[in-house]
C-alpha cells in the first residue's frame, strides 16, 4: 500500500464511525521501489492531499526524509520539492502491517501490500 | 443450469485461483476486457494530456488497470477476490490494490477521484449471497459512498451484464437516489454477442449522454415508414433464397456488427450457366 492510498482511505464504512480518518499505520515490512516521476500529476494531486496526515504517516514509518511539516506555497514550480513528495507518495510501500481505525480501534490487516477492508456482517 | 457466474457462487468464492488464471492466459477474455475498458475510459470524457487518479471497482487481475496505465493515468483498484488480487500482484500492474466489498461502501475520503470505471462487476451486487444481503440497500450504500469520493464533474462508467430489465431498473433507481445523473448506453443493440451495456453516471448536473456505438447511425431512431414494412413482414417471411430474403438476412447481420459484403446489382442473382 502506497502512502497516496493511505491518504485517501477512511474507515467510515464501519457502523457507528462518522469520520474514520486518518487511519493509523503499524508497519512491519516496508519496501521502497522506483516509480516514474510525473511532476504534473504530483502537482495536481497535492491540493487533494491532507498534508498533515501524509506527514504523520511518513514520520510514523520512518520515511519522512526532508519533507516539511507544513505545505510550502509555490510547490507547483519547485521540482526538488515535487520529487520528494513523489518519493513519499508513490515509492514507499507498506507490505505487511495493520491499519487502525481512529474511532473504534478496529484493525485492518495489510498482507502483501493489499489492505483488507472487508467488514464482518455485524460491522456494516 | 444457469450459465451466469453470479448464480453459481458469491464472487469471493467464484473467482478462485483457477478462475483467476483464465484472466491471464485466455487471450480472448483479455481482448474483450481490454476493448470494454478502452470504451469505458473513452466514455469518462477526461480532459486529454493530463494524468488523473481513477478508481477501478472490481479490478480483478488488473487487466483494466494496464489499459488505464496505457492512457497514462494513475489508478487505485478494489476487488473482493483475494485470488484475483494475487494474480494482479504477480503481473505488477502498477496500481495500488485494496481488498474490499463494493456493497459495503467505498472506503475513501470525499473528492478523491477524477473518475471511476468498473468492468463486469456491477451485476454481482444484484444478488443476495448471504442472509444479511439486501441488493437495493447494498446498491444504495455503494452508489452513495462512490458519489462522495468522486470529485465534482467526475464521471463513473460501469460495463455490466444485466440479467433482465428489472435489474437495470433497480440499478438506475438506486444510482439516481444517491444523487447521480445519467443512464445506460447500449453499444451494438442488435447483436447478441457484441451488445454491451454501459451505465454512465455523472456527478455534475444533467448533460447529454454519449452516443452508443452501432453500425447504422439511424439505428436508435425508428423511422415512421418502418411500420408499413412490419405489416408486410407480419404476413409471412420471404421465400428462402429469394433476393428479398438474402437482402434481409444481410441487413440483419450488418446490424449485428458482422462482416457482410456490400449489396450490388448482382446480389441474389444466379450465375450465368457458362461459369
Structural domain of A21: 3-117
Q: Which residue in A21, A117, A124 is closest to B98 by CB distance?
A: A117
Give the DSSP letter of residue A90. Answer: I
How many domains is chain A built from? Answer: 1
Same domain as B264, residue B138: no
Same domain, residue pair B109 and B169 = yes
Are B45 and B169 found together in one domain?
yes
End-of-domain residue from the set B195, B217, B239 = B217
Based on the fold, state whether residues B135 and B211 are members of the same structural domain.
Answer: yes
Q: What is the CATH number of the domain that holds B17?
A: 3.40.50.150
The A residues from 4 to 23 touching B (CB cutoff 8 Å) are: 4-5, 8-13, 21
In this prediction the ipTM stands at 0.92
Residues in A closer than 8 angstroms to B101, CB to CB, are: 118-119
pLDDT at position A121 is 86
Partnered with residue A72 across adjacent β-strands are none
Backbone phi and psi for residue B92, each to the nearest 5 degrees, phi listed first: 50, 70
Domain that holds residue B80: 5-217
Pair (B181, B240) in one structural domain:
no
**Same domain, residue pair B149 and B233:** no
pLDDT at B226 over 60: no
Contact A113 B97 (CB under 8 A): yes
The CA radius of gyration of chain A, in Å to the nearest whole number, is 15
* In chain B, % of residues over pLDDT 90: 53
Q: pTM higher than 0.90 for the full model?
A: no
Residue-level pLDDT at B227: 57
Number of Cβ atoms within 10 Å of the Cβ of B28: 8
A99 in helix, strand or coil?
Answer: strand
**Residue recorded with cell 503481473:** B91
Same domain, B123 and B249: no
Which residue bears the cell 449485428? B256
At residue B42 the predicted structure's pLDDT band, cuts being 50, 70 and 90, is very high
pLDDT at A32 over 70: yes
In a domain, A123, yes or no: no
**B150 and B270 together in one domain:** no
Answer whether residue B224 shows pLDDT above 60.
Answer: no
Residue B20, min C-alpha distance to chain A (Å): 17
Domain end: B200, B217, B234, which one?
B217
> Which residue do the cell numbers 407480419 mark?
B234
- B interface toward A at CB cutoff 8 Å? 50-51, 53, 74, 76, 78, 80, 82, 85-86, 89, 96-101, 104-109, 111-112, 130, 132, 141, 145, 149, 151
Tell me, yes or no, whether B149 and B235 share the same domain: no
Give the minimum alpha-carbon distance from A67 to chain B in angstroms, rounded to a whole number: 22
Convert the pLDDT of each residue in B47-94 to its tens digit. Answer: 888 899 999 999 998 999 999 999 999 999 999 999 999 999 988 888
How high is the pLDDT of residue B232?
60
Is residue A122 a part of any domain in this protein?
no
The CATH number that applies at residue A109 is 2.20.25.10
The number of folded domains in chain B is: 2
Instruction: Name the grid cell of A45.
Output: 494531486
Domain boundary among B197, B217, B237: B217
Structure confidence at residue B273 as a pLDDT band (50, 70, 90): confident
Domain-located, residue A97: yes
To the nearest whole Å, the CA of B137 is away from the closest chain A CA by 11
Cβ burial of B45 (10 Å; 0-12, 13-18, 19+) is middle
Amino acid at each position: 500500500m502506497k502512502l497516496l492510498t493511505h491518504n485517501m482511505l477512511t474507515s467510515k464504512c464501519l457502523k457507528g464511525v462518522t469520520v474514520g480518518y486518518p487511519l493509523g499505520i503499524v508497519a512491519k515490512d516496508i519496501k521502497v521501489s522506483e516509480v516514474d516521476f510525473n511532476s504534473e500529476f504530483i502537482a495536481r494531486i497535492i491540493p487533494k492531499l491532507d498534508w498533515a496526515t501524509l506527514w504523520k504517516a511518513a514520520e510514523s514509518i520512518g520515511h519522512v526524509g526532508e519533507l516539511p511539516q507544513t505545505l510550502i506555497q509555490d510547490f507547483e514550480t519547485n521540482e526538488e520539492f515535487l520529487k520528494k513528495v513523489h518519493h513519499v507518495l508513490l515509492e514507499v510501500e507498506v507490505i505487511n502491517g495493520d491499519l487502525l481505525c481512529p474511532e473504534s480501534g478496529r484493525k485492518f490487516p495489510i498482507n502483501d501490500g493489499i489492505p483488507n477492508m472487508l467488514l464482518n456482517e455485524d460491522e456494516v | 443450469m444457469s450459465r451466469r457466474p453470479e448464480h453459481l457462487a458469491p464472487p469471493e468464492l467464484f473467482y478462485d485461483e483457477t478462475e483467476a488464471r483464465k484472466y491471464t492466459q485466455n487471450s480472448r477474455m483479455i481482448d474483450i476486457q481490454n476493448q470494454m475498458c478502452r470504451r469505458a475510459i473513452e466514455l469518462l470524457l477526461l480532459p486529454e494530456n493530463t494524468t488523473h487518479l481513477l478508481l477501478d471497482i472490481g479490478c480483478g487481475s488488473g487487466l483494466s488497470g494496464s489499459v488505464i496505465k496505457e492512457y497514462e493515468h494513475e489508478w487505485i483498484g478494489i476487488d473482493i477476490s483475494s485470488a484475483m488480487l494475487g494474480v494482479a500482484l504477480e503481473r505488477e500492474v502498477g496500481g495500488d490494490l485494496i481488498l474490499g466489498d463494493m456493497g459495503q461502501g467505498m472506503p475513501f475520503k470525499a473528492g478523491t477521484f477524477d473518475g471511476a470505471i468498473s468492468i463486469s462487476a456491477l451485476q454481482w451486487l444484484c444478488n443476495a449471497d448471504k442472509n444479511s444481503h439486501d441488493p437495493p440497500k447494498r446498491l444504495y450504500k455503494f452508489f452513495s459512498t462512490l458519489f462522495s469520493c468522486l470529485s465534482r464533474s467526475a464521471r463513473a462508467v460501469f460495463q455490466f451484464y444485466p440479467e433482465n430489465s428489472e435489474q437495470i431498473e433497480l440499478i438506475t433507481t438506486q444510482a439516481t437516489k444517491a444523487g447521480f445523473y445519467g443512464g445506460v448506453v447500449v453499444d451494438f443493440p442488435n447483436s447478441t454477442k457484441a451488445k454491451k451495456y454501459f451505465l454512465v453516471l455523472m456527478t455534475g448536473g444533467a448533460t447529454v449522454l454519449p452516443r452508443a456505438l452501432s453500425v447504422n447511425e439511424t439505428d436508435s431512431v425508428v423511422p415512421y415508414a418502418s411500420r408499413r414494412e412490419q405489416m408486410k413482414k407480419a404476413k409471412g417471411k420471404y421465400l428462402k433464397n429469394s433476393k428479398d430474403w438474402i437482402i434481409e438476412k444481410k441487413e440483419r447481420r450488418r446490424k449485428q456488427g458482422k462482416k457482410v459484403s456490400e449489396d450490388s446489382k448482382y446480389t441474389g442473382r444466379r450465375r450465368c450457366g457458362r461459369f
